[in-house]
Amino acid sequence: MESDFLELLVANERVGRWMDILMDPFQRSRHKFAITQLQQDLQRGPSYIEEANRMGVTQVLTKLLSQTSPVAAELRGDEKTMEAVSRIIAACSGPMACGGKVSSFTYDGVTVHIREGALGDGLGAKVWSVCHIMCRELVRHPEIFRGQQVLELGSGTGLVGLVAAAAGAQQVVMTDYEDQVQQFPVILANEVMYETAHAQLVAAAIRHRLAHGGRALLCCAVRDQAVFDMFRDSCRRWGLRYRVLRVAPNAEDLGGIRGRERDYEGGFLLMAVDHADAPAADWHRDDFEPVA
């Protein structure tokens, strides 16, 4: 979720601050303070531990304490400092240190198990709120893809593609970058547009990878309306028909805090795209609205 990413940014800044001190020989007088603060920050949550591991905190502390300098000897002789070091290394080696946790998600009887990565691995390493909206739409309307070949754009963790496969797709090709693949009767994409450049690329990918008479179903949070205006314009340039339906997440999708949906400028959109000159014969719902 967005709050997780913001937490990661804060964790990056705080952990980085203490690491800068620990790696600076001219700030040796502040090493004890930095170790204490770092140990306290790692208690804040997994994002701080992920950042500490990414920055190599265990290696830095091990190297620092193995030196023969008087400063290193003073650190080794300080009981509180060594206790803090032990807690840091334990945190970075324990269960919370593993970004690759296995998560299970169930949508109307369809259960999928995936391994999420650390937020530091990129936005695609985590399951975001909008993904649950998309997955519920798929299992409640399997006629979208049942028995067909499906292409998923920007798969990330692969949750959407796995749900489609479990719910009856003949074959699902999951991609996270442009590749030489054939055309597909069904394209799925979830949370793939964060910048205007993304909007242009996604529209182009749909134009080239969607078979005539096929359908593309996307689901995204609208963080910046300009991105979706660009997507609308790009669809028109490529001869694509673009329609939308405003949807709302369940409370549990937002971590149980309903008000978080107000964090998005334009709410949440389910988007239907097909070729204007060869549209899909039928869609699973008739409440999509044209975009002016």
What is the tens place of the pLDDT at every residue in 40-82?
999 888 888 888 888 888 888 887 877 777 877 888 888 888 8
For 204-216, what is the mean pLDDT? 96
pLDDT of residue 263: 55
Q: Is 228 left (phi over 0), alpha (psi -120 to 50) or beta?
A: alpha
Q: How confident is the model at residue 122 (pLDDT cuts 50, 70, 90)?
A: low
Q: E strand or H helix at 235, and its extent?
A: helix 225-237
Residue with tokens 């001869």: 239
For 6-21, what is the mean pLDDT? 88
CA separation for the pair 209, 70 (Å, rounded): 65
| 28-42, 64-78, 211-225, 235-249: range with lowest mean pLDDT | 64-78
Residue 88: half-sphere exposure toward Cβ, Cα within 13 Å = 27
**What residues are paired with 245 via a beta bridge?**
270
Q: What is the pTM of this model?
A: 0.67
Residue 4: half-sphere exposure toward Cβ, Cα within 13 Å = 18
More confident: 113 or 9: 113
| 11-15, 26-30, 100-104, 160-164: range with lowest mean pLDDT | 100-104
pLDDT of residue 257: 37
Q: Helices 79-93 and 31-41, interaxial angle, to 10°?
A: 40
For 1-22, what is the mean pLDDT? 82
Q: E strand or H helix at 33, and its extent?
A: helix 31-41
| Percentage above 90 pLDDT, the chain | 53
Q: How confident is the model at residue 136 (pLDDT cuts 50, 70, 90)?
A: very high
**What residues are paired with 270 via a beta bridge?**
219, 245
| Secondary structure in 3-state letters for 77-122 | HCHHHHHHHHHHHHHHHCHHHCCCCEEEEEECCEEEEEECCCHHHC
Q: What residues contact 116, with CB distance under 8 A and at least 6 apart?
A: 99, 100, 101, 102, 103, 125, 126, 127, 157
Q: What residues contact 243, with CB distance under 8 A and at least 6 apart?
A: 271, 272, 273, 288, 289, 290, 291
CA separation for the pair 187, 241 (Å, rounded): 14
CA separation for the pair 57, 266 (Å, rounded): 40
CA separation for the pair 263, 83 (Å, rounded): 41
CA separation for the pair 261, 256 (Å, rounded): 11
How is residue 292 written in tokens? 């002016």
Q: Cβ–Cβ contacts within 10 Å for residue 191, how many?
A: 21
More confident: 4 or 90: 90
pLDDT of residue 256: 41
CA separation for the pair 88, 283 (Å, rounded): 54
pLDDT at residue 292 is higher than 90: no
pLDDT at residue 258 is higher than 60: no
Instruction: Convert the pLDDT of each residue in 266-276 to its tens digit.
Output: 789 999 999 99
